[in-house]
């Protein structure tokens, strides 16, 4: 775990502890927001002084002191925040575990603790079995069943799933919903739409012609209280019934007229799975999927609201209030003094059907979902009057990191070319492993020289066949522990492209890792640094170098830093891409192809690039072939 992650984790836990102790809610929110800010930083907080921390949107004077306290104590081998330790002594440790159960917030958990003496999962289970949990205010049988289900699911219910597994699952369910009679539109929302690398749950919005609209709420009366029969509006919409009956659904958590939450099966074969045995993943793992049926007149507002992020939504609501308007999941409305929400009083919205018209009404350009993480961006986009043109799937014209059967790939060289042609690429690079990657059947110098000759002959054959594609002779050269490369310079100079990547010694300390990668970046024959940290999402942290130093060096030497698009890597991560983009460094988006299906991972790399605000001009894969080849030849030649 990096220092930033450790600080963010501590601040997030402090936020929960503050709520459990009944402290000021705004203080708890401040700690939670500061945790998200630190987690999204490209540079280490260790390198920042107090003025630099306070300058960050979301970090105040007191929280900055706590961050500095943690960093100072971490340098001495005992990372801590005194206030955090004090709070831990006041709260039973089992309460934090209870907070991980879906559907349980700090207020409810505090009430359990204070009123029923529930302090851990064991005592919670006893309270459920005895029926005493029902004594809590607003705790009905449905809520208890949901908690009981969350307890049974255990860690699986709170595990974040890699985007490469979550997105195919969401798309599969969305397609099944689109096939239901009367469905007009289905959209993926939430963190999945924002392109986050891991997903806690899936949100789907369904538009139908007969979706229940917003009507004035019934006032309590003797007559309404005496009514026991269900009205038609209380019955689940046909889409909700159909959703809960899908083959992949294993457990219905909740079901109402226009919304349902279920646990559905994850297909582990939806992407190239590099491991994850039975101890790491259950035989039939599931994740939560939420579906909401939305009327067309408020679909845009609902899509914006349920896409998030939370911080982005808060910033938009504050902006609306400053304009004497109110923004919610039903639309943007004129602000008035009434306590009842405007949609419940039949007030017509200023904008609600599309996200674009809501942004326009707020005086903002349309902000793509991937850029809805950092509230500070909103002011930047407003000032510029536009959002930068982000790189898109259609912009990518080549892949510069691919493997064949000569090393550990499953495609012949010709199959690799055919896959590149199908995607309209003008260039494909063959970059099989170097000799130190013995487990990947890395090439010896002799085998690499033979491969170079084969590629030269292949290019001539392709030209004679009238096929407009260029095959580059390259290598994914190991960056050894000391920063030296796996092949000598004489051999590297014979190649069209060199991708230098770390594969071993991935637990080096930050200073050593930084020195190691800087040496490779500054090497005159290296074009791209492949998956720079070597991390595997949810499995291996990888190297933790000083990214600001690497980015500065990469810009100076015009060495591209790679976004490895495989969903288990996504390395560089989004915050590092953002830092590199702002600094003017070059970025490559490569699929690290080993088999045909790996080309499909490009969309995950694009999501990461867009979250990092990458534009086509800084992405070498989006360049015309002439510009790309000129850059490749300029390095060390």
Q: Residue 446 has what pLDDT?
A: 98
**pLDDT confidence tier of residue 346, bands split at 50, 70 and 90:** confident
Whether the predicted pLDDT of 274 surpasses 80: no
Burial of 340 from C-beta contacts in 10 A (0-12 / 13-18 / 19+): exposed
As a whole number, the mean pLDDT across the chain is 90
- The closest of 261, 264, 266 to 249, measured between CA atoms, is 264
Identify the weakest region by mean pLDDT among 23-37, 103-117, 265-279: 265-279
Q: Residue 232 has what pLDDT?
A: 54
Q: Residue 219 has what pLDDT?
A: 30
Which architecture characterizes domain 3-156 according to CATH? Orthogonal Bundle (1.10)
Write out the two tokens for 18.
């503050």
Q: Residue 464 has what pLDDT?
A: 97
Query: What does the alpha-carbon distance between residue 576 and residue 40 come to, in Å, rounded to a whole number?
Result: 9
Query: What does the alpha-carbon distance between residue 167 and residue 287 come to, in Å, rounded to a whole number?
Result: 12
Contacts of 440 (CB under 8 A, 6+ apart): 407, 408, 433
Q: What is the mean pLDDT of residues 59-68?
A: 93
Query: What does the alpha-carbon distance between residue 632 and residue 524 come to, in Å, rounded to a whole number?
Result: 11
Q: What is the mean pLDDT of residues 312-324?
A: 95
208 DSSP β-pair partners: 183
Q: Residue 536 has what pLDDT?
A: 93
According to DSSP, the β-strands at 497-501 and 528-529 are parallel
Higher pLDDT, 489 or 338: 489
Which architecture characterizes domain 159-213+234-269+283-294 according to CATH? 2-Layer Sandwich (3.30)
Rounded to two decimals, the pTM is: 0.84
Q: What is the mean pLDDT of residues 284-295?
A: 91
Query: Dihedrals φ, ψ of 303, to 5°?
Result: -65, -40
Q: What is the mean pLDDT of residues 141-154?
A: 75
- Quickly count: other Cβ atoms within 10 Å of residue 243's Cβ: 27
Q: Residue 273 has what pLDDT?
A: 36
CATH homologous superfamily, domain 302-387: DNA polymerase, thumb domain (3.30.210.10)
Q: 256-260, long-range: CB within 8 Å, 24+ apart, which pairs?
A: 257/212, 257/233, 258/211, 258/212, 258/292, 258/293, 258/294, 259/290, 259/291, 259/292, 259/293, 260/236, 260/290, 260/291
Q: Residue 155 has what pLDDT?
A: 56
Query: What does the alpha-carbon distance between residue 71 and residue 65 come to, in Å, rounded to a whole number?
Result: 10
Whether the predicted pLDDT of 459 surpasses 60: yes
What is the DSSP code (8-state) at residue 49?
-
For 464-475, what is each residue's pLDDT tens digit?
Answer: 999 999 999 999
Whether the predicted pLDDT of 287 surpasses 80: yes
Question: Domain segments of the chain: what residues?
Answer: 3-156, 159-213+234-269+283-294, 302-387, 393-634
Query: What does the alpha-carbon distance between residue 153 and residue 262 come to, in Å, rounded to a whole number?
Result: 12
Residue 192 exposure: Cα atoms within 13 Å on the Cβ side: 26
**pLDDT confidence tier of residue 552, bands split at 50, 70 and 90:** very high
- Quickly count: other Cβ atoms within 10 Å of residue 379's Cβ: 13
Query: What does the alpha-carbon distance between residue 539 and residue 542 come to, in Å, rounded to a whole number?
Result: 9
For 148-203, what is each residue's pLDDT tens digit?
Answer: 877 766 555 567 899 999 999 999 999 999 999 999 999 999 999 999 999 999 99
Q: Residue 271 has what pLDDT?
A: 43
Query: What does the alpha-carbon distance between residue 296 and residue 206 come to, in Å, rounded to a whole number?
Result: 9
Q: Residue 230 has what pLDDT?
A: 46
Helix or strand holding residue 6 (H, E):
helix 3-20
Q: Rg of the Cα trace of the chain?
A: 27
- The closest of 90, 63, 57, 52 to 7, measured between CA atoms, is 63
Length of the chain, in residues:
637
The 587-590 sheet, strands edge to edge: 398-399, 427-430, 470-478, 497-501, 528-529, 560-564, 587-590
Q: Residue 277 has what pLDDT?
A: 36
Q: Residue 509 has what pLDDT?
A: 92
Contacts of 115 (CB under 8 A, 6+ apart): 135, 136
Q: Residue 279 has what pLDDT?
A: 38
Q: What is the mean pLDDT of residues 598-613?
A: 97
Fold designation for 393-634: TIM Barrel (3.20.20)
For 405-454, what is each residue's pLDDT tens digit?
Answer: 999 999 999 999 999 999 999 999 999 999 999 889 999 999 999 999 99
Whether the predicted pLDDT of 278 surpasses 90: no
Contacts of 269 (CB under 8 A, 6+ apart): none
């Amino acid at each position: 775990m990096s220092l930033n992650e450790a600080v963010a984790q501590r601040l997030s836990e402090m936020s929960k502890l503050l709520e459990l102790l009944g402290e000021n809610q705004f203080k708890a929110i401040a700690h939670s927001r500061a945790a998200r800010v630190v987690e999204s930083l490209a540079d280490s907080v260790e390198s920042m002084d107090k003025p630099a921390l306070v300058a960050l949107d979301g970090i105040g004077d007191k929280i900055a002191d706590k961050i500095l306290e943690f960093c100072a104590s971490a340098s001495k081998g005992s990372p801590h925040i005194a206030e955090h330790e004090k709070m831990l002594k006041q709260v039973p440790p089992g309460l934090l575990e209870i907070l991980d159960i879906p559907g349980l917030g700090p207020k409810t958990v505090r009430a359990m603790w204070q009123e029923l003496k529930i302090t851990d999962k064991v005592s919670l289970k006893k309270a459920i079995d005895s029926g005493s949990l029902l004594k809590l205010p607003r705790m009905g049988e449905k809520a208890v069943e949901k908690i009981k289900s969350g307890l049974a699911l255990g860690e699986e219910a709170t595990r974040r799933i890699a985007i490469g597994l979550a997105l195919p699952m969401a798309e599969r369910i969305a397609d099944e919903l689109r096939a239901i009679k009367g469905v007009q539109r289905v959209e993926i929302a939430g963190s999945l739409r924002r392109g986050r690398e891991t997903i806690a749950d899936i949100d789907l919005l369904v538009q139908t012609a007969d979706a229940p609209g917003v009507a004035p709420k019934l006032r309590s009366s003797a007559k309404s209280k005496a009514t026991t029969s269900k009205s038609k509006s209380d019955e689940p919409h046909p889409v909700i019934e159909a959703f809960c009956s899908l083959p992949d659904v294993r457990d219905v958590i909740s079901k109402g007229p226009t919304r349902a939450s279920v646990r559905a099966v994850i297909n582990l074969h939806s992407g190239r799975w590099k491991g994850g045995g039975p101890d790491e993943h259950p035989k039939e793992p599931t994740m939560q999927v939420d579906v909401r049926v939305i009327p067309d007149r408020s679909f845009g507002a609902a899509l914006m609201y349920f896409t998030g992020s939370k911080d982005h939504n808060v910033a938009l609501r504050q902006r609306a209030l400053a304009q004497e308007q109110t923004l919610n999941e039903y639309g943007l409305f004129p602000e008035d003094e009434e306590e009842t929400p405007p949609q419940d009083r039949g007030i017509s919205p200023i904008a609600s059907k599309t996200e674009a018209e809501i942004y326009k009404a707020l005086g903002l350009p349309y902000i793509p979902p991937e850029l809805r993480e950092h509230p500070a961006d909103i002011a930047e986009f407003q000032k510029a009057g536009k959002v930068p043109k982000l790189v898109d799937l259609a912009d990518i014209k080549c892949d510069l990191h691919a493997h064949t059967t000569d090393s550990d790939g499953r495609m012949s060289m010709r199959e690799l070319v055919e896959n590149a042609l199908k995607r309209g690429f003008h260039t494909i690079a063959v970059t099989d492993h170097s000799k130190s990657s013995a487990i990947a059947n890395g090439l010896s110098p002799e085998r690499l020289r033979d491969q170079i000759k084969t590629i030269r002959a292949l290019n001539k054959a392709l030209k004679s066949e009238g096929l407009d594609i260029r095959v580059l002779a390259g290598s994914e050269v190991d960056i050894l522990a000391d920063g030296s490369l796996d092949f000598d310079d004489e051999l590297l100079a014979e190649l069209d492209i060199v991708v230098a990547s770390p594969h071993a010694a991935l637990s080096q300390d930050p200073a050593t890792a930084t020195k190691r990668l800087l040496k490779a970046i500054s090497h005159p024959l290296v074009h791209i640094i492949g998956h720079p940290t070597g991390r595997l999402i949810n499995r291996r942290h990888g190297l933790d170098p000083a990214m600001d130093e690497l980015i500065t060096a990469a810009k100076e030497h015009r060495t591209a830093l790679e976004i490895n698009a495989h969903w288990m890597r996504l390395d560089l991560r989004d915050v590092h891409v953002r830092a590199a983009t702002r600094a003017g460094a070059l970025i490559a988006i490569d699929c690290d192809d080993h088999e045909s299906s790996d080309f499909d991972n490009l969309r995950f790399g694009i999501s990461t690039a867009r979250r990092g605000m990458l534009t086509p001009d800084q992405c070498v894969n989006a360049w015309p072939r002439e510009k790309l080849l000129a850059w490749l030849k300029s390095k060390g030649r």
